Amino acid sequence: MKIAILGAGAMGSLFGGLLAEQNQDVTLLDINEAHLSAIRTQGLILETHGRRRSLTNLRVSRPDKTESIPELLMVFTKSFHTRAALSDVSRVMGPDTTVLTLQNGLGNVELLREFVSLEQIVVGMTTWPADMSRPGAVSSHGAGKIRLMSADGIARPGVEAIAALLNAAGLQCSVDPNVWSAIWEKVAFNAALNSLCAVTGCSVDGIAAVPGGLILARAIVGEVLAVAQAKGIDTDRASCMENVTQAIAKHVGHQPSMLQDVLAGRRTEIEGINGAVVRAAREENLQVTHTETLLELVRLVQARVSGFAG
């Protein structure tokens, strides 16, 4: 399958690298010149399961320079860059191009719908972690899974083929009609822990420093799941509460991506997480007081560190 990865940062390079290792035809599309040029000269340095190697069989390009039509376009930009990135590649996308999003947050399918029809979109959720240590080098420590389905809910052989491709690359993918539950459950987790850490500067375990930290995190999870329920999406409340409690107990020293973004003076994905939950809650006439407070606090922190005021 001819695969293009749009947004080849930590996640895009990890997925692209693992697929290229299976001799898939992979092109990484990104605007980060330092990253592209490092891959051109030394290959993509990929480290997974403690094994480091250099992959030289990937093509790299700026999105506006690519010429070939991909069969699968995997979108791995931060959600606030999706529209600009898609605008640069829409001219090479055909009616047979499938677009896959495994990005965090809500609203990703709606953004892709501005460029392709719903039946071309595959949506999912992944628990794989990835980091970019320097331009040209990405790593993943730990293991993860992927759950995905057609955005219109219709089972198609093409979706099974994508899952098979990802499985062959060791990415543990299943086609699952309950993907929206998984997406909302991850949004609940991120809305609580990412925002609390971004605002306080605490690592995840630091939230346990005062009793109110865990109470607040669980209250946010409860609010998000109530919105999901109002939207007709069933979630596993007990396991979500357990996951957030366990993360606070065990993720010692872990800085969620939103805290890393704040520390680096970058824009965060708060609008696609807490922001999207607040918008969805309003549509359902629900109050999500804690989620909304954290949204405004992260906006303030973000405005201070990055100058981005929404």
Residues forming contacts to ligand NAD in the complex (CB under 6 A) are: 6-12, 29-32, 63, 76-79, 81, 84-85, 88, 103-104, 126, 129-130, 132, 257, 269
Residue with Cβ nearer ligand NAD (79 or 150): 79
Q: Which residue has its beta carbon closest to ligand NAD?
A: 9
Distances (CA, A) of 135 to 3, 9, 10, 87, 94: 21, 9, 10, 24, 31
- Residue 148: φ, ψ to 5°: -145, 165
CA angle 191, 196, 201 (to 5 degrees): 140
Rounded least distance, CB 108 to ligand NAD, Å: 8
Sheet of strand 51-55: strand arrangement:
51-55, 44-48, 137-140, 131-134
| Burial label, 260 (beta-carbon count in 10 A; 0-12, 13-18, 19+) | middle
Shortest reach from residue 86's CB to ligand NAD, in Å: 8
Q: Least distance from C-beta 287 to ligand NAD, angstroms?
A: 26
Contact (Cβ atoms closer than 8 angstroms) between residue 268 and residue 262: yes
DSSP 70: P
Query: CB of residue 78 vs ligand NAD: minimum separation in angstroms?
Result: 5
The DSSP secondary-structure symbol of 64 reads: G
Residue nearer to ligand NAD on the CB measure, 10 or 259: 10
Nearest approach, Cβ of residue 186 and ligand NAD (Å): 8
Nearer to ligand NAD, 209 or 263 (CB): 263
In residues, how long is the chain? 310
Q: How many CB atoms lie within 10 A of CB 124?
A: 26
Nearer to ligand NAD by C-beta: 171 or 207?
171
DSSP label of 307: -
Nearer to ligand NAD, 27 or 98 (CB): 27
Q: How many CB atoms lie within 10 A of CB 212?
A: 10
Q: Look at residues 89, 40, 37 and name the one whose alpha carbon lies nearest to residue 68.
A: 89
Supply the residues annotated as catalytic: 186
- Residue that the structure tokens 């809305």 belong to: 191
